Structure 1
Amino acid sequence: MKAKKRIRDVVYHVIVFGIGILMIYPLIWMFMSSFKETKTIFQTAGSLIPNPFTLDNYINGLKGFAKVPFLVFFKNSLFISVVATIGTVISSAVVAYGFARFDFKGKKILFAAMLLSMMLPAQVLMIPQYLWYQKLGWVGSYLPLIVPYFFAIQGFFVYLMTNFIDGIPKELDEAAKIDGCSYPQIFGRVILPLITPALVTGGIFSFMWRWDDFLSALLYVNKSIKYPVSLALKLFCDPGSSSDYGAMFAMASLSILPSVIIFIFFQKYLVEGISTSGLKG
């Protein structure tokens, strides 16, 4: 029996490893291709080993476009992602606290509307949102990419944190009330420290989604100096002439580093936030 179990474990891990390699192979190919000469990338597409090995793609990519270094685009993406993530986490936590701890008229209807918003395709809202932001004079700035996230527009994070807060015993709130804490104090001193895994989980997902957001930047940012990384990468492709795929792959490889680093350092909180949300304390 032990031998059969060992064989099953070996086969299972081999299959999982093979599937994992298959899933990340495009990333590996992109990273290795960033060290190839641009003219040889597709000529040697079947080989991962660069021959010859070169760093020119990274040097050319970091130079940017029209005297705008590519690091400027990284700075733009970092600003948008960090500020929008802060707004998402704070607003989602406040709304989730209201859903989890207060009874008010229309609560079920609002909660159902929040769930329905999770199922609504973003493309449905694209035109009305654009017209609205255009009337506000926000088109051409970062405001459409940042301000809405301070109003808990992403139901997924509200739902996640609501389930997490539901798992916190209400006796802790009552004990804090006896000690003279107001509702904002209970939220800040009792609830927030206990939902740290959910906050970090929401922060990781929000940062990654904002960092990778191409369509919103394409709609609302109309000056190249304001481009985030996701939009700036397309500048390497010129349908009218030659495209610098080597530099594009090099900058694309660098662009995934922030998400990878954040995931590595906060992986523990991510797993805890997803696995324990909805469990009663």
Structure 2
Amino acid sequence: MRELRDRFHQEIAKVVIGQTAAIDALLAAALVGGHILLEGVPGTAKTLLARAAARALGLSFSRAQFTPDMLPSDLTGTVTLRGGDLVFRPGPVFANLLLADEINRTPPKTQAALLESMAEGQVTVDGVSHLLPQPFIVAATQNPIEYEGTYPLPEAQLDRFLMKIEMGYPSAEDELALLRLDRDGLMPATLGDVGAVTSAEDLLANRQSVAATTIHEDVLNYLSSVIRRTRQLPSVELGASPRAGVHLLAASRSIAWLAGREFVTPDDVSRIAPAVLRHRILIRPEAELERYSAEDAIKAAIASVPVPR
């Protein structure tokens, strides 16, 4: 519970300074089998965080650099002829934690192959389905600034991500601490010192404990009302889906469990709601011209729903 979160933060802090929200989100996602989208300009430790998180969670790790010429088989694997037999050679998707780097730079056909792995926990190659190792977590990254030569993720794929975390620049104190880290070339010399605080088997076992975290009917109604309210706001073209409600419930249970509680509070729901909902809400063009954002819509939805006592 709380001890796991504290130890996880201690290990990640050996190489990543700050970025508390992203670290918490990765751990919360791992505990419920969710996927996470990390958005930030280059150099904000997105890749490094994923590598360190895999080590701290005791998970196998692989990285796929998404490019415009990437084929689905580059991700899922291929069938080759060896010694007269057809042999399946697994692609980088066969890992507990897959870093999908710059996911919006690859064509929709390859994105669809990733979507199958995220939704089904398996990939299909030459008509044969192959199960992925469990737990299976996708940590995808994208740059919010560069749009030339990109393929924006469709709503169906965005909705598969449990959370979207915006990784910004560090504070002045964090940036100084970052510069003080010992380095082996350009990489932190302490990356090899990041130790495992849990294992794949323990993560799967802990999922049952997280799922058993109780939520009072009043809090459940509060959560549902927030989701429904996002669809009723006049500035919103597409509100949160029913899947968004399921994901918000799972994420709320996860952060409550990590806080050492066996029940979900309204504060858990409102605190994690922006991360769970920000990538699922589409704002009307006329509202965007007024600089109204998904964050504003989420705040308005939460503010308009009475908090249960």
Where on the TM-score scale, by shorter chain, does this alignment land: which range? under 0.3
**Which is bigger in relative contact order (C-alpha 8 A, separation at least 6)?**
1
Greater Rg, structure 1 or structure 2? 1
More helix by share: 1
The normalised TM-score by structure 1 is: 0.25
